[in-house]
A = this chain, B = another copy of it.
Amino acid sequence: MTLQKHTINDVAKLAGVSKKTVSRVLNEEANVRESTRLVVMQAVESLGYKPNPQARGLASNQSFLIGLIYDNPNKSYVSDVQEGALTACEEHGYHLLIQPMIHDQNDVVDKIESLIYSSRLDGLILTQPFSDNKSLNTLLKKINLPYARIAPTEMMDDSLNVVCNDVESAYQMTRYLISLGHIKIGFIVGHPDHPVSQQRLNGYIKALQENKIEYDAKYVQQGFFDFNSGEDCARRLLSLEERPTAIFASNDYMAAGVLKVASQKQISVPHQLSVAGYDNAPISSYIWPALTTVKQPVTQQALMATTLLIQTIRKKMPEETTINLENQLIIRESTAPF
């Protein structure tokens, strides 16, 4: 039984060096002779020694804790972000503290500040809509806490960002629908509090303009990223006299709502109506017909963001402070030529 009763002193004694030297080896500090490094490592190994993170933290004024802030009803998105962040944390010996929040609660910033202090976080990862939260950004800068933002829309050059070009992807999806022969293309906007909603809309508009299709407000409905709002919007769109031949929803849940309404109205997808979503959520392949959608490398984004953050915490300034990862169009069965 290798019970963890061992302290750094035990290791030092066994290796025949001072505990400070053991500390040096474990923290990969410079100026340690290779031979002593080996002796120490062996002692560590044979005792099964694990440093006490509390003691380490206290002495070095760190917590090795990184906070992940989110407010997203899309559980699969959250799960993917967690996965990426966890992977990066594990690799560098950090731990992840997940912190769901309500973004439109009026004291969010205070709550986050309180969390930072009470847990002594070393850094923070922000997802939308927090990435674009002005007062939060201001606070973090003021207290000088390193942080990384995922999918921010407003840039700030001295901060760490992992961006994904939603305008571009929405543009490409719309262009794809146009290339299939669609002209009357409905669009369901995402939640107004989420900056990406505007971006996706912009991509849609850009594609229309480029193809000389007039923007028609009645084809654009305001949704809220959830299934029900998708249904509502679809009902409105599909009751129009000149109903659209394609509907592009700003996420997959809403697109699923469209499919349901189409089915109820006996409108066959994709023959009479093409439907496209966004996010490549699990549901997109679990419904029938499977959804054409946009896949974001969410896990990879979170991984990069966390890695950047940890590098910064360790004062090894990363070369790039802004990383751009490409999205991918996934064509499935819900879209067809008109």
Counting every copy of the chain, the complex holds 2
Whole-angstrom distance from the CB of A281 to the nearest CB of chain B?
9
Q: A53-B118, A86-B100 are in contact. List 13 more A-B contacts (CB 8 A).
A: A1-B142, A50-B114, A50-B117, A52-B58, A54-B54, A54-B58, A58-B58, A75-B76, A75-B79, A75-B282, A95-B119, A227-B282, A263-B288
**A182 CB, min distance to chain B CBs, angstroms:** 23
Binds B, one of A35-43, A252-260, A314-322: A252-260
Q: Majority SS of interface residues in chain A? A: helix
CB distance A286 to B57 under 8 Å? Answer: no
A100 touches B117 (CB 8 A): no
Question: CB-nearest residue of chain B relative to A3?
Answer: B143
26 residue pairs of the A-B complex, CB under 8 angstroms, read A50-B117, A52-B120, A53-B54, A53-B118, A54-B57, A55-B58, A75-B75, A75-B76, A75-B78, A75-B282, A83-B100, A86-B100, A95-B97, A227-B282, A227-B285, A227-B286, A253-B286, A256-B286, A259-B288, A260-B286, A260-B287, A260-B288, A263-B288, A264-B288, A283-B286, A286-B287
A51–B253 CA distance with the chains assembled, in angstroms: 43
Cα–Cα, bound, A285→B231 (Å)? 12
Identify which of residues 181-210 in chain A touch chain B, using a CB-to-CB cut-off of 8 Å: none
Complex interface: chain B residues within 8 A of A260 (CB):
286-288
Q: Of all chain B residues, which has the CB nearest A73?
A: B282
Contact with B along A228-265 (1 / 0, CB 8 A): 00000000000000000000000001001101100110
If A1-B142, A287-B286 touch, whether A98 touches B96 (CB-CB below 8 Å) is: yes
Interface membership of A63, Cβ < 8 A: yes
Q: Which of B79, B142, B227 contacts A78 (CB 8 A)?
A: B79
Within A248-305, which residues are at the interface with B (CB < 8 Å)? 253, 256-257, 259-260, 263-264, 282-283, 285-288
A153 at the interface (CB under 8 A from B): no
With a CB–CB cut-off of 8 A, which chain B residues contact A53?
Answer: 54, 63, 118-120
Q: Within A38-93, which residues are at the interface with B (CB < 8 Å)?
A: 50, 52-55, 57-58, 63, 75-76, 78-79, 82-83, 86
Q: Which residue of B lies closest to A82 (CB)?
A: B98
> Is A18 an interface residue when CB atoms closer than 8 A count as contact?
no
Residue on B nearest A87 in the bound complex, by CB: B100
Which of the listed residues A75, A257, A259, A283 has the most CB atoms from chain B within 10 Å of its own CB? Answer: A75
Partner of A283, one of B57, B96, B283: B283
Minimum C-beta distance from A148 to chain B (A): 19
Q: A58-B52, A79-B79, A227-B286 are in contact. Are A98 and B117 (CB under 8 A)?
A: no
Asked if A4 is at the interface of the complex by the 8 Å CB criterion, the answer is: yes
Which B residue sits closest to A79, measured CB to CB?
B75
Q: Which of B57, B82, B259, B283 contacts A282 (CB 8 A)?
A: B283
Asked if B98 contacts A98 (CB within 8 A), the reply is yes
